[in-house]
């Protein structure tokens, strides 16, 4: 796991405000390759340049490795045979844009309890800059699929049970040592179904597990575009993470080029508000700290 913390080489190197903004990365973006996002690779990079970002991580979904071939929905993730081509394409993109913006090779990988070995083997094949860990799949169903809303509608007792099961899996994901960043930490709130208490009363346990794991957590603006209408994680959870010194990264979870860097100035304001002085990005799975610029 990456634990080294060093300064980004661009920090304040010419004293211009724009350059300070250019130290920021959008650490979570998807392309058309996923089957449910729009836009080609180049359009995302161009959007990141236009927003004045210094780096963009392309983090398409890892093939659904734990499911039998016939159960792998092509609208959720790329097929296994596309994966090497994906890696090659993002590396080439990085070459083409060198000197203008840094393109980081990332992937969003599902954590599935019991399939850690399989995942570790897949991740070890390629030179990733950043691996996002997500819990979308919970004991045979998708936490965040529109088709799962009926399950949340069964009542608060069921909602709390879902959160409890999600929390157990999330803690396992943190402890697995497979991930650099945990994505959309409080994902089961997506459709607006909240637990009686954060993480079914296990917030402290979650924060302690993450702190011990060395994983970073993303502050993601994606939740603003979902029924819940707020960032992942919630302010209360973010405050607990920040207080515990958990490293944070900025993420849009863009599924269209126009969403790259989505609401980042508001994310900066939120981070300032909880007393965070730096954010992070990952290069070759090493964590780099960058001072938080003033909100713009």
What six digits make up the tokens of 249? 């990264």
Round to whole Å and give the CA distance between 227 and 221. Answer: 13
Round to whole Å and give the CA distance between 114 and 118. Answer: 9
- Among residues 8 and 136, whose Cβ is nearest to Zn ion? 136
Provide, rounded to whole angstroms, the least separation between the CB of residue 223 and Zn ion.
11
- Among residues 134 and 213, whose Cβ is nearest to Zn ion? 134
What six digits make up the tokens of 45? 């990079």
- Among residues 21 and 131, whose Cβ is nearest to Zn ion? 131
Provide, rounded to whole angstroms, the least separation between the CB of residue 250 and Zn ion.
14
Sheet of 25-26, strand order: 25-26, 55-58, 102-110, 130-134, 181-182, 216-220, 248-251
Provide, rounded to whole angstroms, the least separation between the CB of residue 237 and Zn ion.
17
On the question of a cis peptide bond just before residue 233, with omega within 30 degrees of 0, the verdict is yes
- Among residues 101 and 187, whose Cβ is nearest to Zn ion? 187
Provide, rounded to whole angstroms, the least separation between the CB of residue 6 and Zn ion.
27
- Applying CB under 5 A, the residues found at the interface with Zn ion are 108, 134, 253
- Among residues 221 and 289, whose Cβ is nearest to Zn ion? 221
Round to whole Å and give the CA distance between 96 and 89. Answer: 10
DSSP 159-199: HHHHHHHHHHHHHHHHHTS--SEE-STTGGGTTS---SSGG
Provide, rounded to whole angstroms, the least separation between the CB of residue 28 and Zn ion.
6
- Among residues 184 and 283, whose Cβ is nearest to Zn ion? 184
- Among residues 108 and 259, whose Cβ is nearest to Zn ion? 108
Q: Are 221 and 26 in contact (CB under 8 A)?
A: no
* Closest by Cα among 38, 247, 28, 260 to 129: 28
Find how far residue 42's CA is from the centre of its chain.
20
- Number of Cβ atoms within 10 Å of the Cβ of 237: 20
Provide, rounded to whole angstroms, the least separation between the CB of residue 271 and Zn ion.
20
Provide, rounded to whole angstroms, the least separation between the CB of residue 34 and Zn ion.
8
């Amino acid at each position: 796991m990456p634990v080294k913390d060093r300064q980004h080489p661009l920090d304040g190197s010419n004293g211009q405000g724009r350059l300070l903004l250019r130290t920021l990365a959008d650490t979570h973006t998807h392309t058309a390759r996923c089957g449910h996002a729009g836009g080609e690779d180049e359009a995302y990079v161009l959007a990141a340049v236009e927003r004045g970002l210094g780096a963009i991580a392309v983090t398409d979904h890892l093939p659904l490795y734990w499911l039998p071939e016939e159960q792998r929905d092509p609208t959720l993730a790329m097929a296994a045979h596309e994966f090497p081509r994906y890696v090659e394409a993002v590396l080439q993109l990085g070459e083409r844009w060198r000197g203008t913006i840094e393109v980081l090779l990332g992937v969003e990988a599902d954590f599935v309890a019991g399939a850690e070995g399989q995942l570790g083997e897949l991740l070890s094949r390629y030179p990733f800059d950043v691996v996002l860990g997500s819990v979308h799949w919970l004991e045979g169903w998708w936490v965040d699929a529109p088709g799962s809303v009926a399950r949340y509608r069964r009542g608060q007792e069921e909602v709390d049970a879902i959160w409890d099961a999600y929390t157990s899996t999330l803690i396992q994901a943190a402890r697995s040592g497979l991930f650099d960043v945990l994505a959309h930490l409080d994902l089961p709130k997506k459709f607006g179904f909240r637990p009686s208490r954060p993480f079914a009363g296990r917030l402290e346990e979650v924060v302690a597990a993450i702190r011990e794991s060395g994983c970073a957590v993303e502050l993601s603006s994606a939740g603003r575009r979902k029924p819940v209408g707020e960032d992942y994680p919630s302010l209360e959870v973010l405050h607990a993470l920040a207080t515990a010194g958990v490293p944070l990264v900025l993420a849009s979870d863009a599924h269209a080029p126009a969403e790259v860097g989505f609401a980042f100035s508001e994310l900066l304001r939120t981070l300032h508000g909880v007393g965070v002085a730096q954010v992070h990005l990952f290069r070759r799975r090493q964590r780099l700290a960058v001072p938080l610029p003033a909100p713009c």
